[in-house]
Amino acid sequence: MTPIRPTWKSPMRGLPQWRSTRSLLTLLCLLGARDSFAQMLDVDALLVEASAVPGQGTVRLSGGGGGQTVSTDPAQGEASIAGSVLWVPFKGFGGDVGAYYQAGRSGPSARVRYQFLSQGSAGIDLTLGARYKSEGFSGPGSGEVEALLALGRSFGQLDLILNLVWGWEVNGPGQDAEIKALVGWRFTDNVRLGLEVRAQTEVHDEDGWKGPQMIATDLRAGPTLFWRVSRPLSFQVLVGVGKPVNVNGAGLLALGSFALDL
């Protein structure tokens, strides 16, 4: 009679299947993380433009405003308000139209953007855009056309965005350069704290090319909060400092905005 031997299964049996399952879960988590950072990098910040374009079919209403004190004697203030409607008719391409009011000047604006690279496939967001503003940097009555290069990337919970902008005065010699940057830390998928910086200066006028001059440079910077109340609605707030053109000192800057996807 052959003795019955107890069967023993190695605890390593099924390990390949377990590893496959773990790999699948990891991939899903990474995809989820990509969705979370994409949901923040495709929303314009208060000083910085988004490095990604929202998903195809998105219709987004945006609005905001704020105030800035001017360091003069006596102290004065400037107020601004703006709103726009964005539509993404096909993947990677978006256009928006809007209107703005700032320091007694107002007018329409229009922008188109196309995202050539995305972090999900190329490791970085790269978007090129163009904008028309009826009031340019050179002063009242000078329309302007701008070219935009926006780069962005998330490293875990860290978000980085860089904007390079060049503007041409319509029917005039004025040209200006602008650099904008955002560094933010996402505490959750709905909350991000960061710092935004923007500097814009005229580099060409009727007298020709000229180097950056502090008196002719508009500077803005400050800590910022991004809060997604729900999936389609988000708010942003910035409280910092600003130095307008032709002013030597800086004053208090406060801005706020919302974005609603329909």
Give the confidence band of 104 by pLDDT, cuts at 50, 70, 90: low
The stretch 12-38 carries a mean pLDDT of 46
Q: How many CB atoms lie within 10 A of CB 43?
A: 20
CA angle 15, 18, 24 (to 5 degrees): 145
The CA distance from 243 to 250, in Å, is 4
Is the pLDDT at 209 greater than 80? The verdict is yes
What pLDDT is recorded for position 18?
A: 41
pTM confidence score: 0.83
Architecture category of domain 15-261 in CATH: Beta Barrel (2.40)
Estimate the share of the chain in helix, then strand, then coil, as percent rounded to the nearest 5: 15, 55, 30
Identify the bridge partners of residue 127 per DSSP, sorted by sequence position: 115, 150
What pLDDT is recorded for position 135?
A: 80
| Most confident range, picked from 68-72, 135-139, 207-211 | 207-211
Identify the bridge partners of residue 136 per DSSP, sorted by sequence position: 139
The stretch 102-131 carries a mean pLDDT of 91
Give the confidence band of 25 by pLDDT, cuts at 50, 70, 90: very low
Segments in the chain forming alpha helices (H): 15-41, 119-122
Q: Which pairing describes strands 144-155 and 191-205: parallel, antiparallel, or unpaired?
A: unpaired
